[in-house]
Amino acid sequence: MVLDKLGRALHGALQKLTRATHVDERAIKELVREVQRALLQADVNVELVLGLTKRIEKRALGEKLPPGMGRKEHVIKIVYEELSAFLGKPAELRLQPGKSTVLLMVGLQGSGKTTSVAKLAAHFKKRGFKVGIVCADTFRPGAYEQIKQLVEQSGIKVFGDPRAKDPIKLAKEGVEKLKRENTELILVDSAGRHRKEEALMEEMRQIADAVKPDEVILVLDATLGQQAREQAAAFKKATDVGSILVTKLDGTAKGGGALSAVAATGAPIKFVGTGEHIDDLETFVPERFVARLLGMGDIETLLRKIREATETEKLKPTDVKAIMAGKLTLRDVYDQLEAMSKMGPLSKLMQLIPGVGVSVPEEQMRVGEKKLKRFKVIMQSMTKEELENPKLLNSSRIRRIARGSGTTEAEVKELLKQYEFMKRFIKTFAKGRTPRFGPWGKLVKEMSKGTMPSPGKREG
Ligand SMILES: Nc1nc2c(ncn2[C@@H]2O[C@H](COP(=O)(O)OP(=O)(O)OP(=O)(O)O)[C@@H](O)[C@H]2O)c(=O)[nH]1
Ligand SMILES: [Mg+2]
């Protein structure tokens, strides 16, 4: 995860709020102060920080609670929404299949243009587009060789001429040629080094004039921190910058400063670079980015998915009542697992639950999904009566079920243990002791490892 330090600090601030007994004005002001401290340490501009935290405070103190939402959740939601808005509106780069889209990459020396051209080319090639590159950097020695080498493995065509002196002519020829070959995405890499910045800006303008790009993408280095704003403004003045790609987010604690400064200029950030490797490119969606940064997932999506899944679920209201009274059958467990698989891979779902996503490693989640599938197979080998009343399962039946489902006795027993555990868990629920995220997180972890605690050890 990029911006680890900032993410941890923000997450810590929210966790403190979650643990507080009362969410009063003092707790909110304390949260606001901690958010401020975290952002300032990530080199976010002071004025921007103050503006943002003022909005958070005002909303948290002044807004009415939406129905069905607790105060803590409400405050967390506000922080999440304001931070997302702080990083700009989502703006995706859309290509039209069968048509040529020309992107001109500009930026100062060493900002990461050439690397990003290679990353974008690979990104869109993987998505099935015909991609080509024009190397219009006649200034940097070996520029053509560099880009050729970067995309060699991906089999992407590079147009260029190491001996050419006129980048404008070269760019024009290259784009025209690739267009004739029906290339759907044409990426033009330009020079970043020049003796004078003036000359660089002039060259950029002339290339843009010659190739008429659909979009000019400015490449900015995140290690600039909040100074990225000046650079973005200078480029915007010189050319028609359509979007921004921020590189090297992996290698700096100042990334928050760079992202927020760029967003403040109004140009959308569409991609971020998160490493030197060709795959280290991410589409930038503010909400998603902030959700991951906070380690809390996207609440709205989670709620919607759960709602959708329960709508198609077979459980009738009477069944729910019976379950809450502690009459959970194995069939109910089966139905629950079915409903869960409809919500998509468990690993994806878990990332959406606040506080869980960060604590369950991907590797364990995969084991969890596999296990769920095995459980389903086991249940399919059981009789209707056994599903209704698991007490009927004696050791000889367990052996037969294991053989019949191609699993082991240990796995069948594990399922029964899980059934007992769920039963107890739900009883606790029914008694009005709402399980918090903590126990949920633990439950999920245990499920995924397949080491359910024996129900006897838990207080029910
Ligand atoms: N860690 C990290 N390094 C990056 C990233 N993007 C680019 N780099 C590195 O930054 C250095 C400069 O990258 P280039 O792509 O050559 O930069 P450029 O803008 O084309 O440079 P000029 O052509 O000289 O103007 C290289 O060492 C890259 O590997 C990134 O997202 N993360
Ligand atoms: Mg370059």
Ligand with an atom nearest the CA of residue 113:
1
Per-residue b/e over 195-223, b at no fewer than 16 CB within 10 Å? eeeeebbebbeebbebbebbebbbbbbbb
**Which residues, 6 or more positions from 214, have their beta carbon under 8 angstroms from its beta carbon?**
101, 102, 103
Over residues 119-130, mean pLDDT: 94
Task: Pick the last residue of a domain from 248, 271, 293.
Answer: 293
Distance CA 247, CA 272 (A): 6
In this prediction, residue 1 carries a pLDDT of 62
Same domain assignment for residues 288 and 159: yes
Q: What is the pLDDT of residues 296-335, one digit of tens each?
A: 655 555 445 444 544 444 444 445 555 556 667 777 776 6
Task: Pick the last residue of a domain from 293, 321, 341.
Answer: 293
Same domain assignment for residues 81 and 106: no
109 CB within 6 A, ligand 1? yes
Position with higher pLDDT, 346 vs 280: 280
- What is the domain count for the chain? 3
110 CB within 6 A, ligand 1? yes
137 CB within 6 A, ligand 1? yes
Under DSSP, is residue 364 helix (H, G, I), strand (E, B) or coil? helix
> Closest Cα to atom 4, ligand 1: which residue?
276
The model's confidence at residue 449, banded by pLDDT at 50, 70 and 90, is very low
Around ion ligand 2, residues with a beta carbon closer than 5 Å are 113-114
Is the model's pLDDT at 268 over the cut of 90?
A: yes
Position with higher pLDDT, 430 vs 126: 126
CB of 217 within 8 A of CB of 245? yes
Same domain assignment for residues 383 and 286: no
Instruction: Find the 110 Cα to ligand 1 centroid distance in Å.
Output: 5
Same domain assignment for residues 133 and 231: yes
Residue 92 lies in a domain: no
Same domain assignment for residues 121 and 76: no
Residue 286 lies in a domain: yes
278 CB within 6 A, ligand 1? no
Q: Which of 212-226, 256-270, 338-352 has the lowest mean pLDDT?
A: 338-352
To the question of pTM greater than 0.75 for the whole model, the response is: no
In this prediction, residue 433 carries a pLDDT of 46
Q: Which of 200-214, 261-275, 415-429 has the lowest mean pLDDT?
A: 415-429
Instruction: Find the 293 Cα to ligand 1 centroid distance in Å.
Output: 24
Instruction: Pick the atom of ligand 1 nearest to 189's CA.
Output: 20
Same domain assignment for residues 135 and 276: yes
Task: Pick the last residue of a domain from 270, 293, 316.
Answer: 293
> Closest Cα to atom 7, ligand 1: which residue?
112
CATH label of the domain that carries residue 204: 3.40.50.300
223 CB within 6 A, ligand 1? no
Position with higher pLDDT, 225 vs 335: 225
Domain with 162, as residue range(s), is 101-293
Instruction: Find the 183 Cα to ligand 1 centroid distance in Å.
Output: 25
Most confident residue range from 211-225, 302-316, 423-437: 211-225
Residue 94 lies in a domain: no
